[in-house]
Amino acid sequence: MLVLVAPGQGAQTPGFLTDWLALPGAADRVAAWSDAIGLDLAHYGTKADADEIRDTSVAQPLLVAAGILSAAALGDIADLAPGAVAGHSVGEFTAAAFAGVLDDTAAVSLVRRRGLAMAEAAAVTETGMSALLGGDPEVSVAHLEKLGLTPANMNGAGQIVAAGTMEQLAALSEDKPEGVRKVVALKVAGAFHTQHMAPAVDKLAQAAKTLTPADPKVTYVSNKDGQAVASGAEVLERLVGQVANPVRWDRCMETFQELGVTALIEVCPGGTLTGLAKRALPGVKTLALKSPADLDAARELVAEHAQQA
């Protein structure tokens, strides 16, 4: 069974969209999305520097656009026939497009509103996120709570992401939980998936009211609890609420395993989620779409999966 996944914020790097835009029809699609949201996605995906694409209001629609574009280059979702789709944080919007809950333009447009609302919320207090590598999850979570931090991403495979004020994160760097090898600051502009993002939830909820979601055409696995969600309305409701709730990617991977995953493809800019899967899902074949050069190998993996089915 193939699972198609989409990465979250922090996966972007300068120029990562350049080669994808050279594919037939890609530049036109991105131009149409850019017009719809009032943001030059092609510029930010090809010419902008790391600081520019770190901006939450830019990074989020850029990531969703890249994910949709790279999946389309791989093939029609109906032909790929994934057994499940999921996304990490903002990647959930990409997955919602894969599942047919939102059309591509609606997904990019709503996530632009999300990014703007989260950037506004993040500007109130200087906050950020840091990844903890290694250690026991229970010990780490208790330590984070003692420092006033939130375990915003429970990523599995020995990785937790803490979120909070810069002062709290500095204290974490000086006082790591027992067993944690390293604390790594992430390339994000706020404490996402925490109470700091509560103001953004209300604004996103208002924007979501203008949409009519469809029920998922393939199994959609939610960050909230790792459960499959069959209602489009509930998917949309969860997309709104997840802005201020922790990401349970560990539970998403548990669900993949329960569903019988044999292969996992991560859309552009892939790498993060395949890395987690290699450690948490032994025996599952993984592939990250980093550039169009990866498409042939990805198609082979899809074909292999289809033969197994």
pLDDT tens across 281-291, in order?
A: 999 999 999 99
Q: What are phi and psi of 5, to 5 degrees?
A: -125, 155
Same domain? For 18 and 149 the reply is no
Handedness of CA 67, 294, 217, 6 (dihedral sign): negative
Q: Which tokens is 284 given?
A: 């599952």
The last residue of one of the domains, among 186, 204, 222, is 186
Count of domains for the chain: 2
Asked if the model's pLDDT at residue 309 lies above 60, the reply is no
Asked if the model's pLDDT at residue 186 lies above 90, the reply is no
Q: Which tokens is 198 given?
A: 């509560």
| Model pTM score | 0.94
Same domain? For 24 and 171 the reply is no
Same domain? For 12 and 82 the reply is yes
Q: What is the mean pLDDT of residues 119-133?
A: 93
pLDDT of residue 177: 95
pLDDT of residue 126: 93
Asked if the model's pLDDT at residue 240 lies above 50, the reply is yes
SS3 204: helix
Same domain? For 20 and 119 the reply is yes
Residue 180: inside a domain: yes
Q: Mean pLDDT across the chain, nearest whole number? A: 95
Strand-pair category, 2-6 with 263-266 = parallel
Strand-pair category, 228-229 with 263-266 = unpaired
Q: Does residue 235 contact residue 213 with C-beta atoms inside 8 Å?
A: yes
pLDDT tens across 196-208, in order?
A: 999 999 999 999 9
Asked if the model's pLDDT at residue 187 lies above 80, the reply is no
Same domain? For 67 and 146 the reply is no
Rounded Cα–Cα distance for residues 263 and 281 (Å):
10
Q: What angle do CA 307, 73, 283 make, to 5 degrees?
A: 40
Residue 309: inside a domain: no
Asked if the model's pLDDT at residue 308 lies above 70, the reply is no
Annotated active-site positions, please?
89, 193
Domain carrying residue 138:
126-186
